[in-house]
Structure 1
Amino acid sequence: MPPSVYARTRALSVHLFTATGVIFAMLALLAAVESNWSWMFVWLLVALVVDGVDGPLARRYDVEVHAARFDGVLLDLIIDYLTYVFIPIYALYVSGLVPGWAGWGILIVVPFASALYFCDTQMKTGDASFEGFPGCWNMVALVVFVVEPNPWITLAVSIVLSVAMFLPLRFVHPVRTVQWRPVTLAVTGIWLALAIAAAWGEFGLPRPLALLFGAASLYLLLAGLVQQGMARMRGERGV
C-alpha cells in the first residue's frame, strides 16, 4: 500500500473509531429505557474511554490532513452531547433520584445550557484546559447515583455548574492539560476504575473506596481552578 493511501486509511480509521461512541450511546440509551442503570453507566464509561483515546490518535495520525472530508471535532461533539449530557440527565429524572420539580429543573436547565456550551468556540484554553465547566454530566450523574443526595441539592449543584460553563474558570482536561498531567492521569485512572466498580456493583462502594471516589471526583473538578489561582498569584497573564 502506497504511503499516502496508508496514511489516509489510518486517519479514516480514527474517525471510524470515534464513531463507535454513538453505538455505545445507543446501548446506554436502551439500558436506560429498561432502567438498567448499571449497564447504562458501563456503556457510558466505555464511550468515555473512546473519547479519551481518539483525540491523541487523531493528532498523531493527522486526520485533519489525511481524512479532512470528515470533521472529527464535530463528530466528537455530537457523540459527547449524547453521552455526556442527554442520556445521563434523562437517567437522573427517570431513575427517581431527581423527581418532581427538581427533576424538571434539571431536564430544562442542563440540556439547554450544555447545547450552548458544546458549540462554544472558546471552550479550550491555550494549555488545552477547558474554559468553564466542560459539561461532564455523565460523571456528575454517576456521583449522584452513588451518593444519592437530596434532589434539591442535586438541582442546585447542577445550576451552579451550568452557570460555570460560561465563566472564565479553568478545568483540567484529563489527558491534554500539561500541568500536573501525571497526577491527573493517575487520578483519572483511579476514578474510572472506581466508576466501573460502582456501576457494576449497583452503585455500592465500601466506605474507603467511596471516599476515594469522592476525592478523585473533587480533584478532577477543582484541579484546574487551583492551577488558575496559583497562576494568578504568580501574576501570569491570560488566566
Structure 2
Amino acid sequence: MKKAFAWLVHLFTASGLLAGFMGLLAAVAGDYRTAMWWMLATLVIDGIDGTFARLAHVSEVLPHVSGQMIDYVIDFFTYAILPAYLFYVATDLPATPRLLGSFAMLLSAALYYGLDGMVSADGRHFVGFPVMWNMVVYLLIFVVPDLPWPLVFGAVLALAVLHFVPILVPYPSRGGRWWMLTIGVTLLFVLSAVLNVWYYPKPSHWWQGIALACSGYYCLITLLDTWAARRKA
C-alpha cells in the first residue's frame, strides 16, 4: 500500500507535464488565456506535490526513483520551454527581439539548472533569479501588455543575466524575513493571477496593480536579504 501511494505521488508530479502539454496545445491554437490557465495549473501541482511526497515518504519507499529528477524534467518544460514559446507567439515584439528573448529564457534556464547551489545553505532563498519565466510571461501578457517592446526585451535579458548573479530571492515556503507576510503576498499574487487571466482580454486595473505591488514586494525582500547577507559576509 505504501508503494502504491508513493507511485501515485510520482504520477501526480508527472501530471504537471500533461498540464504543460495542454498549455502548449492552447498556445499553438492562439488561445493564450487557456494556455495561461494550464500554466497556472502546473504551478499549483508543483507547489503541493512536495507535501504529498513527504507524507508518503517517497524517498524511503521508492529509493530507486528520483522524484527530484522527475520534478526537474517537468519544471524545465513548464517553467522555461512553455513560457518561452508563449512569449514568442503572444507578445507584440518585432520578430528578432521575440526570438532572442525566447533564446535568452531557454539558454539561461538550461545553464541555471546545471549549477550547484541553486538554493542557499539555509534553504530559505534561491541564489540568483530562479527559473520563473512562467510568471514573467504572465506579467508581460496579462498585467503590462502595453509595455514598450524595448523595455520588455531589456527586462527579459536582465532577468536572464540575474540567473547568475548571487542575489537571494525568497523561497516562500521555507521561512525567512517577514515570513507570514511573504506567504500572504504570495497567495495574493496567485489570486491576482487567477483574476487577471479571468478578466483577459478586458483587464482589471485593480488586480493588475495588485500583481505589480506583489512583484515589487518580492523585489524589496530580495534587495534586503541580499544586502544583509553581504554585510554579514
Is TM (by shorter chain) over 0.5?
yes
* Superposition deviation, residue 163 in structure 1: 0.9
Query: Counterpart amino acid of 1:130?
Result: F
| TM-score, normalised by the number of residues in structure 1 | 0.89
Q: In the alignment, is residue 36 of structure 1 matched against residue 31 of structure 2?
A: yes
Q: In the alignment, is residue 212 of structure 1 matched against residue 207 of structure 2?
A: no
Secondary structure (helix, strand or coil) at the match of 2:65 reads: coil
Matched with 2:200 is 202
Q: In the alignment, is residue 121 of structure 1 matched against residue 116 of structure 2?
A: yes
> Match for 2:85 among 75, 86, 90?
90
CA distances 1:171-225 after superposition (whole Å, capped 9, x unpaired): 1123224433211211111111111111122154332222111011222344233
Secondary structure (helix, strand or coil) at the match of 2:98 reads: helix
CA distance in structure 1 between the partners assigned to 2:173 and 2:157 by the alignment: 26
CA distance in structure 1 between the partners assigned to 2:202 and 2:220 by the alignment: 24
Q: Is residue 196–residue 204 contact of structure 2 (8 Å, CA) maintained in 1? A: no
Q: In the alignment, is residue 59 of structure 1 matched against residue 57 of structure 2?
A: no
Q: In the alignment, is residue 130 of structure 1 matched against residue 95 of structure 2?
A: no
Matched with 1:172 is 170
> Match for 1:12 among 7, 14, 25?
7
CA distances 1:57-76 after superposition (whole Å, capped 9, x unpaired): 22343221112222111111
% identical equivalent positions: 30
Q: Residues 225 and 68 (structure 1 numbering): CA distance in 2 closer, same or farther, change over 3 Å?
A: farther
Matched with 2:153 is 155
Query: Counterpart amino acid of 2:127?
Result: E
Gaps of 5+ in 1: 1-5
Query: Counterpart amino acid of 2:5?
Result: R
CA distance in structure 2 between the partners assigned to 1:104 and 1:159 by the alignment: 12
> Match for 1:144 among 140, 143, 158?
140
Query: Counterpart amino acid of 1:138?
Result: N
> Match for 1:192 among 186, 190, 193?
190
Matched with 2:224 is 226
CA distance in structure 2 between the partners assigned to 1:203 and 1:185 by the alignment: 28
Q: Is residue 127–residue 177 contact of structure 1 (8 Å, CA) maintained in 2? A: no
Gaps of 5+ in 2: none
Query: Counterpart amino acid of 1:77?
Result: Y
CA distance in structure 2 between the partners assigned to 1:176 and 1:83 by the alignment: 22
Q: Is residue 173–residue 183 contact of structure 2 (8 Å, CA) maintained in 1? A: yes
Q: Is residue 171–residue 222 contact of structure 1 (8 Å, CA) maintained in 2? A: no
CA distance in structure 1 between the partners assigned to 2:21 and 2:154 by the alignment: 29
Matched with 1:3 is none
Q: In the alignment, is residue 101 of structure 1 matched against residue 99 of structure 2?
A: no
| TM-score, normalised by the number of residues in structure 2 | 0.91
Secondary structure (helix, strand or coil) at the match of 2:173 reads: coil
Stretch of structure 1 that moved more, 186-195 or 62-71: 62-71
CA distance in structure 1 between the partners assigned to 2:94 and 2:190 by the alignment: 27
Q: Residues 99 and 176 (structure 1 numbering): CA distance in 2 closer, same or farther, change over 3 Å?
A: farther
Q: In the alignment, is residue 183 of structure 1 matched against residue 181 of structure 2?
A: yes
Q: Residues 89 and 98 (structure 1 numbering): CA distance in 2 closer, same or farther, change over 3 Å?
A: farther
Q: Is residue 93–residue 99 contact of structure 1 (8 Å, CA) maintained in 2? A: no
Q: In the alignment, is residue 78 of structure 1 matched against residue 76 of structure 2?
A: no
Q: Is residue 177–residue 221 contact of structure 2 (8 Å, CA) maintained in 1? A: no
